[in-house]
Amino acid sequence: MAAVGSDQSLTLVVVDLVGIFVFAISGGLVAVRKDLDVLGVLVLAATTGLGGGFIRDVLIGATPPAALADWRYLLVPFGAGLLTFFYHPALGRMERLVDTFDALGLGLFVAAGAAKAIDYGLGPVPAALMGLATGVGGGAVRDVLAGRVPIILRRSTLYAVPAAAGAAVTSFGLQVGLSQTLVTIVGFVVCAGWRLLAMWRGWEAPVPRGSASV
């Protein structure tokens, strides 16, 4: 990521770690509800927190992923997993809070994911797709491992639409040469803000009309 100065780099790392932490908590809570043991909680926390970034890095050829090149990255999902293991009743009661943090994590991941893909030379459309994959990939792996249809595919309040929008804003902003800091913040605000509004107002995406043939 040669184009990123050291201050921006530090900001991106912090942003990344907060996103991993929040997503790992959500993975750990799913594991607790599925009645898994301590290793199951840790594994689901780690795959949820790291899965989206791993999918992006493998596809754009940025291997090994950052989280495998620096062991401190791994402390975060495992810390979040242990925290969930011991304090899940309290965390579970704070579901509203966890959902809010999930929206913030989603915003961080899609903006940072799209920016990294642009840094690796992808065009704006594929980079937006990689931002989306970064944001929703970890949750998809979590849900597949836990034996349920990924939340991104389930009919519910808007989740993927704000994620795609934030990723697209970041990608195209960087493509036309705007400042990385500015563009990443705007992409984050678009995604997280829209997602939070959708949660509060109960907005849903359009569904196919007419009955499905079988």
Q: Which residues bind its own copies (CB under 8 A)?
A: 29, 31-41, 43-44, 46, 54, 58-61, 63-65, 67-71, 74, 85, 88-89, 92-93, 95, 120, 122-126, 129-130, 140, 144-150, 152-155, 159-161, 164, 204-208, 210-214
CA-CA distance, 31 to 43, in Å (whole number)?
Answer: 9
Cβ neighbours for 84, distance < 8 A, ≥ 6 positions apart: 24, 25, 28, 29, 31, 32, 41, 45, 91
Q: How is residue 199 written in tokens? A: 């949660």
Please, what is the minimum distance in Å from the beta carbon of residue 7 to its own copies?
Answer: 25
Please, what is the minimum distance in Å from the beta carbon of residue 181 to its own copies?
Answer: 25
Query: Which residue number, 171 or 180, has a Cβ lying nearer to its own copies?
Result: 171
Q: Strand, coil or helix: what is 123?
A: coil
Please, what is the minimum distance in Å from the beta carbon of residue 101 to its own copies?
Answer: 16
Please, what is the minimum distance in Å from the beta carbon of residue 138 to its own copies?
Answer: 14
Query: Which residue number, 7 or 35, has a Cβ lying nearer to its own copies?
Result: 35
Q: How far is CA 136 from the centre of its chain?
A: 5
Q: Strand, coil or helix: what is 204?
A: strand
Please, what is the minimum distance in Å from the beta carbon of residue 184 to its own copies?
Answer: 20
Query: Which residue number, 112 or 128, has a Cβ lying nearer to its own copies?
Result: 128
Q: What is the DSSP string of 70-101?
A: -THHHHHHHHHHHHHHHHHHHHHHTHHHHHHH
Query: Which residue number, 61 or 177, has a Cβ lying nearer to its own copies?
Result: 61
